[in-house]
Structure 1
Amino acid sequence: MPDHIDIILRALFFVVILFLITKMIGKKQISQLSFFEYVAGITIGSLASEVILKLETNILNGVLAIFVFGGIAWLADYISLKSRSAREFIEGKSTFLIKDGKILEENLKKEKYSIDDLMSLLREKNVYGLSEVESAILEHDGKLSVFVKKENQPLTAKDLNVKVANVKEPNAVIMDGQILDDGLQRAGKTREWLNIQLEKLEVLPENIFLGQVDSYGELTVDVYDDKKQVPSPQERPLLLAMIKKCQADLELFALETESKEAKDMFNRNATKLNDLKNKLTPYLS
Protein backbone atom coordinates (compact mmCIF):
# COMPACT_ATOMS: atom_id res chain seq x y z
CA MET A 1 0.00 0.00 0.00
CA PRO A 2 1.39 3.47 -0.87
CA ASP A 3 2.55 5.53 2.10
CA HIS A 4 0.13 8.41 1.51
CA ILE A 5 -2.86 6.04 1.40
CA ASP A 6 -1.66 4.35 4.59
CA ILE A 7 -1.32 7.73 6.37
CA ILE A 8 -4.80 8.81 5.24
CA LEU A 9 -6.34 5.58 6.53
CA ARG A 10 -4.44 5.85 9.82
CA ALA A 11 -5.55 9.47 10.21
CA LEU A 12 -9.20 8.59 9.62
CA PHE A 13 -8.93 5.69 12.06
CA PHE A 14 -7.43 7.87 14.79
CA VAL A 15 -10.00 10.61 14.27
CA VAL A 16 -12.55 8.02 15.40
CA ILE A 17 -10.33 6.86 18.29
CA LEU A 18 -9.70 10.40 19.54
CA PHE A 19 -13.39 11.23 19.23
CA LEU A 20 -14.27 8.22 21.39
CA ILE A 21 -11.60 9.17 23.94
CA THR A 22 -12.89 12.74 24.11
CA LYS A 23 -16.46 11.51 24.60
CA MET A 24 -15.26 9.20 27.35
CA ILE A 25 -13.35 11.94 29.20
CA GLY A 26 -16.21 14.43 28.83
CA LYS A 27 -16.73 18.03 27.73
CA LYS A 28 -14.48 19.33 30.47
CA GLN A 29 -11.48 18.20 28.43
CA ILE A 30 -12.34 20.77 25.74
CA SER A 31 -13.48 23.59 28.04
CA GLN A 32 -11.73 23.95 31.39
CA LEU A 33 -8.45 22.06 31.57
CA SER A 34 -6.68 21.32 34.79
CA PHE A 35 -2.91 20.88 34.67
CA PHE A 36 -3.32 17.09 34.63
CA GLU A 37 -5.88 17.20 31.80
CA TYR A 38 -3.66 19.59 29.85
CA VAL A 39 -0.70 17.18 30.04
CA ALA A 40 -2.92 14.19 29.20
CA GLY A 41 -4.37 15.98 26.17
CA ILE A 42 -0.96 16.90 24.79
CA THR A 43 0.34 13.35 25.32
CA ILE A 44 -2.66 11.75 23.61
CA GLY A 45 -2.28 14.09 20.62
CA SER A 46 1.45 13.36 20.41
CA LEU A 47 0.89 9.61 20.51
CA ALA A 48 -1.75 9.83 17.78
CA SER A 49 0.51 11.88 15.50
CA GLU A 50 3.39 9.42 15.93
CA VAL A 51 1.22 6.46 14.96
CA ILE A 52 -0.40 8.31 12.05
CA LEU A 53 3.03 9.27 10.61
CA LYS A 54 4.30 5.71 11.21
CA LEU A 55 6.96 6.85 13.67
CA GLU A 56 5.41 4.12 15.81
CA THR A 57 4.89 1.26 13.37
CA ASN A 58 2.66 -0.89 15.57
CA ILE A 59 -0.74 0.74 15.42
CA LEU A 60 -2.15 -1.38 18.26
CA ASN A 61 0.55 -0.11 20.62
CA GLY A 62 -0.48 3.45 19.81
CA VAL A 63 -4.17 2.71 20.36
CA LEU A 64 -3.39 1.01 23.67
CA ALA A 65 -1.28 3.95 24.88
CA ILE A 66 -4.00 6.44 23.94
CA PHE A 67 -6.66 4.44 25.78
CA VAL A 68 -4.38 4.18 28.82
CA PHE A 69 -3.90 7.96 28.98
CA GLY A 70 -7.58 8.53 28.29
CA GLY A 71 -8.51 6.08 31.03
CA ILE A 72 -6.16 7.78 33.49
CA ALA A 73 -7.70 11.18 32.70
CA TRP A 74 -11.21 9.73 33.14
CA LEU A 75 -10.22 8.06 36.41
CA ALA A 76 -8.72 11.31 37.71
CA ASP A 77 -11.96 13.15 36.95
CA TYR A 78 -14.00 10.41 38.62
CA ILE A 79 -11.87 10.51 41.77
CA SER A 80 -12.07 14.31 41.79
CA LEU A 81 -15.87 14.12 41.82
CA LYS A 82 -15.84 11.75 44.78
CA SER A 83 -13.20 13.40 46.97
CA ARG A 84 -12.64 17.08 47.66
CA SER A 85 -9.06 16.55 48.85
CA ALA A 86 -8.27 14.58 45.69
CA ARG A 87 -9.89 17.29 43.60
CA GLU A 88 -7.76 19.98 45.24
CA PHE A 89 -4.63 17.87 44.71
CA ILE A 90 -5.34 17.07 41.04
CA GLU A 91 -6.96 20.32 39.89
CA GLY A 92 -5.48 22.73 42.41
CA LYS A 93 -7.21 25.26 44.65
CA SER A 94 -8.47 28.75 44.01
CA THR A 95 -6.21 31.52 45.33
CA PHE A 96 -7.06 35.04 46.45
CA LEU A 97 -4.89 37.60 44.64
CA ILE A 98 -6.84 40.57 45.97
CA LYS A 99 -8.81 40.55 49.19
CA ASP A 100 -10.63 43.45 50.87
CA GLY A 101 -9.21 45.73 48.19
CA LYS A 102 -5.57 44.80 48.95
CA ILE A 103 -3.17 42.85 46.73
CA LEU A 104 -1.79 39.72 48.40
CA GLU A 105 1.82 39.79 47.24
CA GLU A 106 2.70 36.42 48.76
CA ASN A 107 -0.08 34.72 46.80
CA LEU A 108 1.09 36.44 43.61
CA LYS A 109 4.58 35.04 44.14
CA LYS A 110 3.19 31.61 44.97
CA GLU A 111 1.24 31.49 41.69
CA LYS A 112 4.19 32.95 39.71
CA TYR A 113 2.16 36.00 38.68
CA SER A 114 3.59 39.49 38.30
CA ILE A 115 1.66 42.70 38.91
CA ASP A 116 1.54 43.15 35.12
CA ASP A 117 -0.07 39.72 34.77
CA LEU A 118 -2.64 40.67 37.40
CA MET A 119 -3.45 44.00 35.72
CA SER A 120 -3.80 42.25 32.36
CA LEU A 121 -6.30 39.78 33.82
CA LEU A 122 -8.24 42.63 35.44
CA ARG A 123 -8.41 44.52 32.14
CA GLU A 124 -9.91 41.40 30.53
CA LYS A 125 -12.74 41.86 33.06
CA ASN A 126 -13.08 45.56 32.09
CA VAL A 127 -11.51 46.65 35.38
CA TYR A 128 -8.77 49.25 35.00
CA GLY A 129 -8.19 50.45 38.55
CA LEU A 130 -7.30 48.50 41.67
CA SER A 131 -9.49 50.88 43.68
CA GLU A 132 -12.54 49.35 41.95
CA VAL A 133 -11.81 45.80 43.16
CA GLU A 134 -13.10 44.26 46.38
CA SER A 135 -11.63 40.81 45.72
CA ALA A 136 -10.08 38.79 42.91
CA ILE A 137 -9.66 35.01 42.90
CA LEU A 138 -7.41 33.01 40.59
CA GLU A 139 -9.39 29.86 39.79
CA HIS A 140 -7.79 26.46 39.35
CA ASP A 141 -8.17 26.71 35.55
CA GLY A 142 -6.20 29.97 35.41
CA LYS A 143 -9.19 32.29 35.02
CA LEU A 144 -9.61 35.32 37.27
CA SER A 145 -12.92 35.92 39.04
CA VAL A 146 -13.37 39.56 40.03
CA PHE A 147 -15.83 41.05 42.50
CA VAL A 148 -15.90 44.83 42.21
CA LYS A 149 -16.91 47.14 45.02
CA LYS A 150 -20.59 47.87 45.41
CA GLU A 151 -20.30 51.50 44.30
CA ASN A 152 -18.62 50.38 41.06
CA GLN A 153 -21.19 47.76 40.13
CA PRO A 154 -23.74 48.61 37.42
CA LEU A 155 -27.23 49.51 38.56
CA THR A 156 -29.85 46.80 38.30
CA ALA A 157 -33.63 46.91 38.23
CA LYS A 158 -33.60 45.70 41.85
CA ASP A 159 -31.38 48.62 42.90
CA LEU A 160 -33.85 51.03 41.29
CA ASN A 161 -36.82 49.17 42.79
CA VAL A 162 -38.20 48.63 39.30
CA LYS A 163 -40.24 45.52 38.62
CA VAL A 164 -39.30 43.67 35.45
CA ALA A 165 -40.74 40.57 33.87
CA ASN A 166 -38.99 37.22 34.09
CA VAL A 167 -37.46 36.23 30.76
CA LYS A 168 -36.94 32.62 29.76
CA GLU A 169 -34.80 31.15 27.03
CA PRO A 170 -36.47 31.55 23.61
CA ASN A 171 -37.36 28.43 21.66
CA ALA A 172 -36.24 28.04 18.06
CA VAL A 173 -39.26 27.06 15.93
CA ILE A 174 -37.77 27.65 12.46
CA MET A 175 -34.16 27.00 11.46
CA ASP A 176 -32.68 27.07 7.97
CA GLY A 177 -36.18 27.29 6.51
CA GLN A 178 -37.39 24.18 8.34
CA ILE A 179 -40.15 24.19 10.97
CA LEU A 180 -39.04 22.56 14.23
CA ASP A 181 -41.96 20.73 15.82
CA ASP A 182 -40.05 20.03 19.05
CA GLY A 183 -39.39 23.76 19.46
CA LEU A 184 -43.08 24.50 18.90
CA GLN A 185 -43.98 21.90 21.52
CA ARG A 186 -41.61 23.42 24.10
CA ALA A 187 -43.09 26.86 23.41
CA GLY A 188 -46.63 25.50 23.75
CA LYS A 189 -47.52 26.48 20.18
CA THR A 190 -48.90 24.69 17.13
CA ARG A 191 -48.24 24.85 13.42
CA GLU A 192 -51.60 26.56 12.94
CA TRP A 193 -50.53 29.34 15.32
CA LEU A 194 -47.18 29.61 13.53
CA ASN A 195 -48.86 29.91 10.11
CA ILE A 196 -51.07 32.74 11.40
CA GLN A 197 -48.05 34.61 12.76
CA LEU A 198 -46.14 34.16 9.49
CA GLU A 199 -49.11 35.52 7.55
CA LYS A 200 -49.04 38.64 9.74
CA LEU A 201 -45.34 39.06 9.01
CA GLU A 202 -45.90 38.30 5.32
CA VAL A 203 -43.02 35.84 5.16
CA LEU A 204 -42.75 32.15 4.23
CA PRO A 205 -40.95 29.55 6.40
CA GLU A 206 -38.47 28.70 3.64
CA ASN A 207 -37.30 32.33 3.59
CA ILE A 208 -36.50 32.35 7.31
CA PHE A 209 -33.00 31.66 8.59
CA LEU A 210 -34.02 31.60 12.26
CA GLY A 211 -37.39 31.99 13.97
CA GLN A 212 -37.81 32.05 17.76
CA VAL A 213 -40.71 32.24 20.20
CA ASP A 214 -39.81 34.31 23.27
CA SER A 215 -41.10 33.96 26.84
CA TYR A 216 -44.04 36.26 25.95
CA GLY A 217 -45.14 33.87 23.22
CA GLU A 218 -44.17 36.27 20.41
CA LEU A 219 -42.49 35.19 17.19
CA THR A 220 -39.38 36.97 15.94
CA VAL A 221 -37.67 35.98 12.70
CA ASP A 222 -34.43 36.61 10.84
CA VAL A 223 -34.80 36.16 7.08
CA TYR A 224 -32.17 35.26 4.52
CA ASP A 225 -32.70 38.54 2.66
CA ASP A 226 -30.98 41.13 4.87
CA LYS A 227 -32.60 43.96 2.91
CA LYS A 228 -36.13 42.79 3.72
CA GLN A 229 -37.67 44.62 6.69
CA VAL A 230 -39.73 42.33 8.91
CA PRO A 231 -42.02 44.13 11.39
CA SER A 232 -41.51 43.52 15.09
CA PRO A 233 -44.31 41.96 17.16
CA GLN A 234 -46.87 44.66 18.10
CA GLU A 235 -49.42 42.82 20.26
CA ARG A 236 -47.99 43.89 23.64
CA PRO A 237 -47.35 47.56 22.74
CA LEU A 238 -50.80 47.80 21.17
CA LEU A 239 -52.45 46.31 24.27
CA LEU A 240 -50.62 48.77 26.52
CA ALA A 241 -51.62 51.67 24.26
CA MET A 242 -55.25 50.52 24.35
CA ILE A 243 -55.25 50.43 28.18
CA LYS A 244 -53.79 53.95 28.30
CA LYS A 245 -56.41 55.21 25.82
CA CYS A 246 -59.26 53.66 27.82
CA GLN A 247 -57.95 55.30 30.99
CA ALA A 248 -57.67 58.67 29.26
CA ASP A 249 -61.20 58.33 27.86
CA LEU A 250 -62.62 57.58 31.31
CA GLU A 251 -60.84 60.60 32.81
CA LEU A 252 -62.20 62.76 29.98
CA PHE A 253 -65.75 61.47 30.52
CA ALA A 254 -65.40 62.28 34.24
CA LEU A 255 -64.49 65.87 33.39
CA GLU A 256 -67.33 66.31 30.88
CA THR A 257 -70.22 64.84 32.87
CA GLU A 258 -72.21 66.87 35.38
CA SER A 259 -73.58 63.82 37.18
CA LYS A 260 -71.76 63.18 40.45
CA GLU A 261 -72.52 59.45 40.33
CA ALA A 262 -71.23 59.15 36.76
CA LYS A 263 -68.15 61.24 37.60
CA ASP A 264 -67.35 58.96 40.57
CA MET A 265 -67.84 55.86 38.43
CA PHE A 266 -65.57 57.14 35.65
CA ASN A 267 -62.84 58.19 38.12
CA ARG A 268 -63.07 54.90 39.99
CA ASN A 269 -62.66 52.84 36.84
CA ALA A 270 -59.90 55.12 35.53
CA THR A 271 -58.02 54.47 38.78
CA LYS A 272 -58.47 50.72 38.36
CA LEU A 273 -57.14 50.91 34.81
CA ASN A 274 -54.17 52.98 36.01
CA ASP A 275 -53.34 50.33 38.62
CA LEU A 276 -53.66 47.63 35.96
CA LYS A 277 -51.43 49.60 33.59
CA ASN A 278 -48.73 49.96 36.26
CA LYS A 279 -48.78 46.22 36.94
CA LEU A 280 -48.67 45.23 33.28
CA THR A 281 -46.17 47.83 32.02
CA PRO A 282 -43.10 45.64 32.78
CA TYR A 283 -44.64 42.86 30.73
CA LEU A 284 -46.08 44.90 27.86
CA SER A 285 -43.42 47.57 27.29
Structure 2
Amino acid sequence: MKDGKIMESSLRLTRLDIDSLRSLLRQKNIFSMADVDYAIFETSGKLSVMKKENKQSATKADMNSLSTKVFPIATEVIADGTANTNNLTQLKLDTNWLDQQLQQAGVKSLSEVFYAEVQPDGTLYIDNKDDF
Protein backbone atom coordinates (compact mmCIF):
# COMPACT_ATOMS: atom_id res chain seq x y z
CA MET A 1 0.00 0.00 0.00
CA LYS A 2 2.89 2.32 -0.76
CA ASP A 3 0.48 4.52 -2.68
CA GLY A 4 -3.12 4.58 -1.47
CA LYS A 5 -4.26 5.17 -5.06
CA ILE A 6 -3.43 1.60 -6.03
CA MET A 7 -4.98 -0.15 -3.02
CA GLU A 8 -8.31 -0.93 -4.66
CA SER A 9 -6.77 -2.50 -7.78
CA SER A 10 -4.20 -4.39 -5.69
CA LEU A 11 -6.98 -5.88 -3.56
CA ARG A 12 -8.79 -6.97 -6.71
CA LEU A 13 -5.64 -8.68 -8.02
CA THR A 14 -5.11 -10.58 -4.75
CA ARG A 15 -8.85 -11.33 -4.45
CA LEU A 16 -8.96 -9.79 -0.99
CA ASP A 17 -11.69 -7.54 0.31
CA ILE A 18 -11.05 -4.62 2.64
CA ASP A 19 -12.21 -6.57 5.71
CA SER A 20 -9.75 -9.41 4.99
CA LEU A 21 -6.92 -6.92 4.56
CA ARG A 22 -7.81 -5.18 7.84
CA SER A 23 -7.85 -8.57 9.57
CA LEU A 24 -4.39 -9.43 8.20
CA LEU A 25 -3.09 -6.04 9.34
CA ARG A 26 -4.51 -6.52 12.85
CA GLN A 27 -2.64 -9.84 13.03
CA LYS A 28 0.48 -7.71 12.55
CA ASN A 29 -0.68 -5.32 15.34
CA ILE A 30 -1.54 -2.64 12.80
CA PHE A 31 -4.93 -1.12 13.52
CA SER A 32 -4.87 1.73 11.00
CA MET A 33 -4.14 1.63 7.29
CA ALA A 34 -2.66 5.09 7.61
CA ASP A 35 0.22 3.49 9.55
CA VAL A 36 1.26 1.34 6.57
CA ASP A 37 4.04 2.55 4.31
CA TYR A 38 4.19 -0.59 2.18
CA ALA A 39 2.49 -3.99 2.18
CA ILE A 40 3.19 -7.10 0.10
CA PHE A 41 0.82 -10.04 -0.18
CA GLU A 42 3.26 -12.93 -0.38
CA THR A 43 2.69 -16.05 -2.54
CA SER A 44 2.47 -18.01 0.72
CA GLY A 45 -0.72 -16.09 1.55
CA LYS A 46 0.94 -14.06 4.31
CA LEU A 47 1.12 -10.30 4.43
CA SER A 48 4.46 -8.52 4.87
CA VAL A 49 4.12 -4.96 6.13
CA MET A 50 6.46 -2.02 6.55
CA LYS A 51 5.06 0.61 8.88
CA LYS A 52 5.65 4.28 8.26
CA GLU A 53 8.77 5.38 10.07
CA ASN A 54 6.88 7.51 12.57
CA LYS A 55 4.55 4.55 13.33
CA GLN A 56 7.21 1.99 14.16
CA SER A 57 7.50 0.60 17.67
CA ALA A 58 7.96 3.22 20.34
CA THR A 59 9.54 3.06 23.76
CA LYS A 60 7.56 3.56 26.99
CA ALA A 61 9.04 7.05 27.20
CA ASP A 62 7.74 7.82 23.72
CA MET A 63 4.30 6.54 24.68
CA ASN A 64 4.13 8.73 27.79
CA SER A 65 4.65 11.82 25.66
CA LEU A 66 1.73 10.96 23.37
CA SER A 67 -1.35 12.40 25.01
CA THR A 68 -3.27 13.57 21.95
CA LYS A 69 -5.44 10.47 21.52
CA VAL A 70 -9.10 11.31 21.01
CA PHE A 71 -10.27 7.79 20.01
CA PRO A 72 -8.90 4.41 21.19
CA ILE A 73 -8.17 2.94 17.73
CA ALA A 74 -8.59 3.83 14.07
CA THR A 75 -12.22 3.20 13.13
CA GLU A 76 -13.73 2.56 9.69
CA VAL A 77 -16.31 5.16 8.68
CA ILE A 78 -16.55 4.56 4.91
CA ALA A 79 -16.28 1.28 3.01
CA ASP A 80 -16.75 1.15 -0.76
CA GLY A 81 -18.58 4.48 -0.90
CA THR A 82 -20.96 3.75 1.99
CA ALA A 83 -20.83 5.51 5.34
CA ASN A 84 -20.74 3.30 8.44
CA THR A 85 -23.24 5.23 10.56
CA ASN A 86 -22.96 2.76 13.46
CA ASN A 87 -19.24 3.51 13.83
CA LEU A 88 -19.85 7.25 13.43
CA THR A 89 -22.43 7.11 16.23
CA GLN A 90 -20.07 5.17 18.50
CA LEU A 91 -17.44 7.85 17.90
CA LYS A 92 -20.06 10.53 18.66
CA LEU A 93 -19.73 11.85 15.11
CA ASP A 94 -22.31 12.19 12.34
CA THR A 95 -22.61 12.33 8.56
CA ASN A 96 -22.43 16.14 8.65
CA TRP A 97 -18.97 15.90 10.24
CA LEU A 98 -17.97 13.27 7.68
CA ASP A 99 -19.22 15.38 4.75
CA GLN A 100 -17.29 18.38 6.07
CA GLN A 101 -14.08 16.33 6.37
CA LEU A 102 -14.50 14.98 2.85
CA GLN A 103 -15.08 18.48 1.44
CA GLN A 104 -11.92 19.74 3.17
CA ALA A 105 -10.02 16.88 1.51
CA GLY A 106 -11.44 17.79 -1.91
CA VAL A 107 -13.76 14.78 -2.10
CA LYS A 108 -17.12 15.67 -3.61
CA SER A 109 -19.08 12.52 -2.82
CA LEU A 110 -19.03 9.40 -0.63
CA SER A 111 -19.13 7.36 -3.84
CA GLU A 112 -15.57 8.56 -4.62
CA VAL A 113 -14.20 6.94 -1.44
CA PHE A 114 -13.04 3.33 -1.34
CA TYR A 115 -12.18 3.39 2.37
CA ALA A 116 -11.90 5.95 5.16
CA GLU A 117 -11.16 5.69 8.86
CA VAL A 118 -11.02 8.10 11.76
CA GLN A 119 -7.55 8.07 13.31
CA PRO A 120 -6.97 8.01 17.09
CA ASP A 121 -6.05 11.71 16.90
CA GLY A 122 -9.40 12.55 15.27
CA THR A 123 -8.12 13.05 11.72
CA LEU A 124 -9.62 11.23 8.74
CA TYR A 125 -7.59 8.84 6.54
CA ILE A 126 -9.13 8.60 3.03
CA ASP A 127 -8.39 6.22 0.17
CA ASN A 128 -10.25 7.24 -3.00
CA LYS A 129 -11.63 4.77 -5.49
CA ASP A 130 -9.53 4.24 -8.59
CA ASP A 131 -12.03 3.88 -11.40
CA PHE A 132 -10.06 3.12 -14.53
Q: TM bucket by the smaller chain? A: 0.3 to 0.5
Scaled by the length of structure 2, the TM-score of the pair is 0.47
Name the structure with the higher helix share.
1
Bigger relative CO (Cα 8 Å, ≥ 6 apart): 2
Larger Rg: 1
